[in-house]
Amino acid sequence: MNRRGQGGRINRGQPLRFTFDGRSYQGYDGDTLASALLANGVRLMGRSFKYHRPRGVITAGSEEPNALVELRRGARREPNTRATQVELFDGLEARSQNRFPSLAFDALGVNDRLSSVLGAGFYYKTFMWPAAFWETVYEPLIRRAAGLGRLAEAPDPDCYDKGTLFCDLLVIGAGPAGLAAALTAGRAGARVILADEDFEMGGRLLAERLSLGDARAEEWRAATLEELRGLTNVRLKTRTTVVGAYDNGVYGALERVTDHLAAPHPDLPRQIFWKIRSKRALVCTGATERPIAFGNNDRPGVMLAGALRAYANRWAVAADRTVAVFTNNDDGHRTAMDLMGQGADVGAVVDVREDAPRLGDYPLFAGAQVVDTAGRLGLKSITLRRADGSTEVVPCGALGVAGGWNPALALTCHQGGRPVWRPEIATFVPGETLPERQLVAGAAAGVFSTHGAVSTGVAATVAALDGLGIRTTPPDLPRAEDAPVNIRPFWHTGEGRGRSWLDLQNDVTVKDVALAHQEGFRSVEHLKRYTTLGMATDQGKLANLGALAVMAELTGKSIPETGTTTFRPPYTPVPIAALAGRSRGREFRPTRLTPGHDWAEAQGAVFVEAGPWLRAQYFPREGETHWRQSVDREALAVRSSVGICDVSTLGKVDVQGRGAAEYLDLLYANGMERLPVGKCRYGLMLREDGIVLDDGTVARLAEAHFVVTTTTANAACVYRHMEFVRQCLRPDLDVQLMPVTDAWAQVAVAGPNARKLLQRIVDPVFDISNDAFPFMACAAIRVCGGTPARLFRISFSGELAYEIAVPACYGNSLMQVLMDVGTDYEVTPYGTEALGVLRIEKGHATASELNGQTSATHLGMARMVSANKDCIGGVLSRRPALSEKGGFRLIGLEAIGTAELAAGSHLFEDGAEKTPAHDEGWTTSACYSPHLGKSIALGFFERGDVRWGEVVEVANPIEGASVRARVVSPHFIDPKGERLRG
């Protein structure tokens, strides 16, 4: 079937083939899926959400509620795209939704016969009995029946992008108002961005037969666009929907880059989400038409009158050979005129106004209403009722319904503003309080004529630019139609046999609004949630006003008194992937590599993610098949000879200045002010509430020069805290901070042969013997013939140990050199797993123990919090709950037998019932100790410091395990610290 006529904006030289529900059709370049389907005589395009009623397209724009289709295949399959916004391309595949087995025969159409029990809010009153049926019967059924469209259920293979644009004037909408505005601002030299959601600019100029001056609108449009394209200060963005108005003149916009391309370039992002920072913004978004509700007003073929003529004028499609119009205003008559111009028969123009004008030679029924339609899978006829009550059936295949126009004012209300009712044009217009620096022009402001659009667009631009100090010369405006609005408010035709539909996407009728009113849900906010009207993907663009008008009638209030619900961004749906941009998958967070990364990789290290860092976890050797083999070997090697570990990820901050010592004394719980030059000290940092924040080391390289380390995970937040203390608490102190985490590679060298190994690379002039360089010494030295380095004698493992720092570019080489000089010591590289085993054996607390709930007292470090000085957290750390004698204490646990202890287990007296009342603590870290030959753990235990020797149950109810263990000192290895000092 071919419904294509003459003219239109399609390119007949470029035919395109596409499929819908498996059938092949032809369209043209310039078609949307909706216009191409209509041109092929396809009116049935979907089934409604709840009742599965046959539906067709009813608009020509993004406000479409019915014609939602599924596009593409495989991982790119996407539901719920409005056919009115799908640009046709060759090879496009589309499928209808929400029907089984087919669009023509849908089994769930049976829902429609159950409408009396499936009305608004039915689920609040059903599915309650018997209770057991909920999980087994009702929920599975509802899941299968509900939902709109289906997801691909595979990761989205496309990439998306984000960016920021700046302009003096953002013009939103490129219809007559927007084009005139952009032209005015562009010629004045302002930086302009003109954005439109359509793939062609022109707005209603594309859909109407208008003239501007002596020329057709098309000529003015084309000339204006050509001039705009030539201006370097103007940026034109088609296929770009401005979806939200945010604070400070910031707008969010979604640009569709490749959705219209059959084979997009692989480097192109599919969509770009733009943040547009504007100095001024002009809303020229036009208006959307609204329908009138009457019996069976939802059949395929019933459309908005403006859409009917848009299909005729822009796409040369006559929706049917015989059409009718139902209207309450003059605009509906224009549709009849334009369709007659396309060669269609106008069977009736039904106008509710007794004094309806006659604009052309068509059968006019003044003072009449359409009350019913016929044709299940497509409109066949309408039934109209005259003023005297008599009815008549008029055969037709398309009905244009014209209920009036609603300014598309969402962007004016995104910051809490409310629109105001203008009774003379029977519509809401933007209110007084607009978002800052935003103006409105054209139909979006309730100025509906073409002349009005162009002149208000220009006037608003002049005002906006004046505010920026930019002088503008308004362009000469061509004459254009300036018809007044003649409308009689009319919302629905009252009780009849057929249901009158308001929200087509969520299947809400006038009866449902009455039900809500009857049950007490009378405010618009309650009406919305109780009936779900306005909550679908179209956000009720066609339904909201009709519904609140019906509610106003029922409550006896006026429309402005009834009010509107809240407008929130986004105006049309935005994929979450577009908001994520490139932050997905492996790129969700940028990866940080240590200076020694490549060396470790060459050694075959297995890596682990530690926040954004990749760290070597262990270094498997030939023949090792399980990670425990590697880790046990590495830990044993450290304690028996020497091992090296890349610890560059620890945060490092350079602290200098005359006030640095006093500053550090405030920052840390333990004393730092009198730390001698050439010494390091373990540093305990508290939060102001007394809980431990972080631990690290402080090394004093000179009187006024310190280097501070933090844990890897807390590097950023500790640095932030240090700047807070410096700038906000003690700005009087002479202190300079500089983060140097990335500048230095730092390697731990640990084990009985650590000193001997280092002596082979430390330049001979530096004496690092035990006497000259005792435990906790530090110094700036040189290694390998002059490379600057810093040496710290600190130990995480409990062995004789050092950390050596060199400039980051030498980190890779240092690892290799240490291996080369130490072959006779069998120097062993070790990773984070062995590092963990060693420190658990030593009883050294880390993030697992410093978990944000524990105090110095809990950790057994109460004496480290000096009571003789001010420090962050000092006062509140002495609160009874954090410092009491009977509280939690850090303990060690040794498993009895060969079973493994797990971190996160809870501690119970042997044989006690596993309930919270008997819970006496928990484990924080656990590992197999190759030195003790058993599983060990650290944890917190009530009064743990005086309960060594007790046997407890270490319970893991989630995995169903329970292990008996003995409570011991948390320092399993060398508790007296003799190895450290040797």
DSSP state, 465?
Answer: H
Of the two residues 269 and 300, which places its CB atom closer to another protein in the complex? 269
Question: In the stretch 806-825, what mask flags binding to another protein with x, by CB under 8 A?
Answer: xxxxxxxxx--x--xx----
Lookup: tokens for 249: 């003149």
Asked if 568 is part of the footprint of another protein (rule: CB under 8 A), the reply reads no
Asked if 763 is part of the footprint of another protein (rule: CB under 8 A), the reply reads yes
Of the two residues 416 and 494, which places its CB atom closer to another protein in the complex? 416
Of the two residues 731 and 852, which places its CB atom closer to another protein in the complex? 731
Asked if 591 is part of the footprint of another protein (rule: CB under 8 A), the reply reads yes
Taking alpha carbons only, the member of 385, 375, 377 closest to residue 294 is: 385
Asked if 740 is part of the footprint of another protein (rule: CB under 8 A), the reply reads yes
Q: How far apart are CA 152 and CA 491, in angstroms?
A: 40
Altogether, the residues listed in the chain come to a count of 982
Burial of 813 (0-12, 13-18, 19+ CB in 10 A): middle
Asked if 852 is part of the footprint of another protein (rule: CB under 8 A), the reply reads no
Asked if 736 is part of the footprint of another protein (rule: CB under 8 A), the reply reads yes
Of the two residues 345 and 662, which places its CB atom closer to another protein in the complex? 662
Residue with tokens 């797990």: 902
Among 354, 495, 723, 824, binds another protein (CB under 8 A): 723
Binding-site size, another protein (CB under 8 A): 82
Asked if 252 is part of the footprint of another protein (rule: CB under 8 A), the reply reads no
Asked if 783 is part of the footprint of another protein (rule: CB under 8 A), the reply reads yes
Site for another protein in 650-679 (CB under 8 A): 654, 656-658
Contact range with another protein by CB under 8 A, out of 271-279, 559-567, 635-643, 968-976: 271-279
Of the two residues 493 and 649, which places its CB atom closer to another protein in the complex? 649
Site for another protein in 913-952 (CB under 8 A): none
Contact range with another protein by CB under 8 A, out of 90-98, 197-205, 316-324, 785-793: 785-793
- Give the SS3 label for residue 159: coil
Question: In the stretch 290-329, what mask flags binding to another protein with x, by CB under 8 A?
Answer: ----------------------------------------
Site for another protein in 686-715 (CB under 8 A): 688-689, 705
Q: How far apart are CA 619 and CA 645, in angstroms?
A: 11
Asked if 89 is part of the footprint of another protein (rule: CB under 8 A), the reply reads no
Does 570 sit behind a cis peptide bond, omega within 30 degrees of 0 on the bond before it?
A: yes
Asked if 884 is part of the footprint of another protein (rule: CB under 8 A), the reply reads no
Site for another protein in 382-421 (CB under 8 A): none
Q: Nearest 5 degrees, angle CA 871-CA 876-CA 882? A: 120
Of the two residues 357 and 788, which places its CB atom closer to another protein in the complex? 788
Q: Assign 3-class secondary structure to 409-455.
A: CHHHHCCCCCCEEECCCCEEECCCCCCCCEEECHHHHCCCCHHHHHH
Among 154, 875, 881, 951, binds another protein (CB under 8 A): 875
Lookup: tokens for 577: 């992937």
Q: How far apart are CA 284 and CA 50, in angstroms?
A: 35
Site for another protein in 496-555 (CB under 8 A): none
Cα–Cα separations (whole angstroms), residue 786 to 297, 440, 661, 763, 782: 88, 70, 30, 7, 5
Among 389, 785, 886, 960, binds another protein (CB under 8 A): 785
Residue with tokens 């000192």: 969
Lookup: tokens for 939: 């944890």
Of the two residues 210 and 733, which places its CB atom closer to another protein in the complex? 733
Of the two residues 76 and 589, which places its CB atom closer to another protein in the complex? 589
> Across the strands, what pairs with 400?
303, 325
Among 209, 277, 376, 966, binds another protein (CB under 8 A): 277
Of the two residues 121 and 189, which places its CB atom closer to another protein in the complex? 189
Sheet with 801-807, strands from edge to edge, namely: 778-783, 787-792, 801-807, 744-750, 643-646, 828-829
Q: How far apart are CA 454 and CA 456, in angstroms?
A: 6
Of the two residues 114 and 729, which places its CB atom closer to another protein in the complex? 729
In the chain, what is the greatest distance between 2 CA atoms, to the nearest angstrom?
A: 116
Asked if 229 is part of the footprint of another protein (rule: CB under 8 A), the reply reads no
Taken in order 674, 677, 683, 685, the sign of the CA dihedral is positive
Of the two residues 267 and 476, which places its CB atom closer to another protein in the complex? 267
Cα–Cα separations (whole angstroms), residue 954 to 898, 903, 912, 916, 970: 14, 10, 11, 14, 16
Cβ atoms of 69 and 86 closer than 8 Å: yes
Of the two residues 590 and 960, which places its CB atom closer to another protein in the complex? 590
Asked if 133 is part of the footprint of another protein (rule: CB under 8 A), the reply reads no
Taking alpha carbons only, the member of 727, 711, 800, 768 closest to residue 982 is: 800
Asked if 742 is part of the footprint of another protein (rule: CB under 8 A), the reply reads yes
Q: Minimum Å distance from CB 175 to another protein?
A: 23
Of the two residues 235 and 557, which places its CB atom closer to another protein in the complex? 235
Question: In the stretch 600-619, what mask flags binding to another protein with x, by CB under 8 A?
Answer: -------------x------
Backbone angles phi, psi at 660, to 5 degrees: -60, -40
Among 576, 728, 946, 958, binds another protein (CB under 8 A): 728
Of the two residues 348 and 686, which places its CB atom closer to another protein in the complex? 686
Lookup: tokens for 969: 């000192």
DSSP state, 779?
Answer: E
Among 424, 732, 913, 978, binds another protein (CB under 8 A): 732
Asked if 870 is part of the footprint of another protein (rule: CB under 8 A), the reply reads yes
Asked if 345 is part of the footprint of another protein (rule: CB under 8 A), the reply reads no
Site for another protein in 156-215 (CB under 8 A): 161-166
